[in-house]
Amino acid sequence: MPWTREQVLAVAPDESSVKAGQKLATPGPWSATGHTEALLWGSCQGSGKKPYQVSIDLTGPAYKCSCPSRKFPCKHAIALLLLWSTGAIGDGEVAGFAAEWADDRASRTERAATTAASADPAAAQARRAERIAKMDAGVADFAQWLTDLARAGLADALRRAPDWWESTAARLVDAQLPGLAERVRDAGGEVAQGLEASDLLERVGVWWLLVQAWRRRETLDAARTADLDAAVGLPTAAADVRAGETRTQNWTVLGAHRDLRGRLEQQRTWLRGDDGTVIVLLDTAGPGQSLGVPQLTGSRVHAEVALYPGTAPRRALFATPPEPVGTSDRFGPGGTVDDALAEAAAALAAVPWRDRHPVTVNDVAVADDAEHLLDAGGGALRLTDDTPTPLLLAATGGRAAQVFGELDAGRLRVLAVAADGEVTAL
C-alpha cells in the first residue's frame, strides 16, 4: 500500500526539504514514473536538459537521486513519495536506471550476507531462515496466480499485455525468487512475439512443478534440493563451493554459448574431464558489466574445479587457474541421436525443470532442409533457431561429423563441430 502523507513527511531530513518536496509533488515535472511492491521510480525535470532520476527502495527504505543534493531523501525523493501517496503513480515496467540500482543493491546485499555468514554462522542461519520464510510466502502467492491463470485459460494469458507478466515477475523478485521471476518475464516477452498456446502450457507446467517441489523440498535429497534452489534463485556462496567437493584433472573445453536472460547476459562454458565428468562454468553480467573471455573451444587445460551441489551435469568454478596442456580434435565419446535423446530424457526425469542438457553426437550431417541433423541410422534432431547453420555447413563441408551442443526443449543448439582433425567453435 502507498505510504500516507504523514509517513512520507516523517522520513524528510528537515523542514526545508519538506517545503521543497511539496512544491515538486505535482505531475507536471515528472515522467517515466512507476512502482512495484518494493520499488518506486520517476524522472523529474529540473533546470537542466537532463531530468533527475529518482529511485526508492521501499523495503529499506533507501534512496537514490542523480541530483547533487547531499540530503537523504532529497526533495525529489520526497516529492515522488508524496505523489505516490496520493495514488497518482501506477505500476509498470521498471525503468532501466531504477532496475540497475536495485540490482546493484541486491548484489551488494548478497556480498555482505556472504561475508557476514563466514564471520557469524548463527546469524547467517537466521538470515537464511528469514529468506526461506519470505520465499515460502512468494511461492504461495505464485501458486494462486497460476491457479487463476489456469481458471481463466491460456487464451486469456496469451492476450495479456507485457506489464501483466512484468508485475508478476516484480512480485517474485520482491519475494526473493529471481529465478522464477526471470522465467515469467521471459514468457511474457515470448507471448508478445507470438508464443503458441502449447508452448505456454509447457512453461506453466514447469512452473507448477517448481511450486510443488518447493512445497516438498524437505523430502528431496541434497542434490535435488540444490537444483531446486538454483532454479528459483536461492544462491550458493562461492566460498562454500570452494570449501566443498573439488576435482583435479585435465579438462577438454567442449563449447561455449552466450545469451540474454532478462536484464542479465549469461555465458555457459562446457568442459569434459578425462574421467568423463561434464561440468558447466556459468558467468553472468548485468547492465554496464562485461563477461569474461571463455576458454578456447577444443583446448585442454589442467585445473582444480570446485563443484556446486546438484545433479549431473553440475555447475563448477575454477579453484585454481587453468593451465594449457594441448588441444583435442574430438569431444570424447559420443553416441547416436537416440542415445542423446535418451540421455537428456533421463536427466529431465530426475530434474523436470532443467532447461538444457549437453550432448555429443557422432557422425551427423545437416539435412537437406537445413533444419535438422541426421545420423546414419535415420535419427533426426531439429536445430534451434540460433544455431549458425551456414557455419556448421562450412565446417563440415556437408559431410558427417561429430558435434557438441545443448538440447534445449527437444532441439539441438550446436556449439562446436569436430571435423577433418580439428574442433571448430560456432
Map out the domains of the chain as residue ranges: 5-91, 119-232, 238-327, 337-425
Asked which of 5-9, 49-53, 368-372, 410-414 is least confident by mean pLDDT, the reply is 5-9
Class of domain 238-327: mainly beta
pLDDT in tens, 180-238: 998 999 899 899 999 999 999 999 999 999 999 999 999 999 999 999 999 999 988 88
What are the grid coordinates assigned to 96, written together? 532501466
Q: How far is CA 298 from the centre of its chain?
A: 27
The reported pLDDT for the residue numbered 367 is 94
**Phi/psi at 99 (nearest 5 deg)?**
-65, -40
User: For the chain, first and last CA: distance in Å?
Assistant: 51
Helix axes 222-232, 197-215, angle to 10 degrees: 130
Q: What is the rounded CA–CA span in Å between residue 370 and residue 390? A: 9
pLDDT in tens, 141-176: 999 999 999 999 999 999 999 889 999 999 998 999
Residue 105's pLDDT band (boundaries 50, 70, 90)?
confident
Q: What is the radius of gyration, based on Cα positions, of the chain?
A: 25
Residue 44's pLDDT band (boundaries 50, 70, 90)?
very high
List % helix, strand, coil for the chain (3-state, nearest 5).
40, 25, 30
Are 20 and 71 within 8 A, CB to CB? Answer: no
The model carries a pTM of 0.70
Average pLDDT over residues 65-90: 89
Residue 290's pLDDT band (boundaries 50, 70, 90)?
low
The reported pLDDT for the residue numbered 49 is 86
pLDDT for residue 137 is more than 60? yes
Query: Cβ atoms within 10 A of the Cβ of 359, count?
Result: 23
CB under 8 Å to 119, separation ≥6 — which residues? none
Residue 95's pLDDT band (boundaries 50, 70, 90)?
confident
Residue 303's pLDDT band (boundaries 50, 70, 90)?
very high
User: For a pLDDT cut of 70, what percent of the chain falls above it?
Assistant: 94
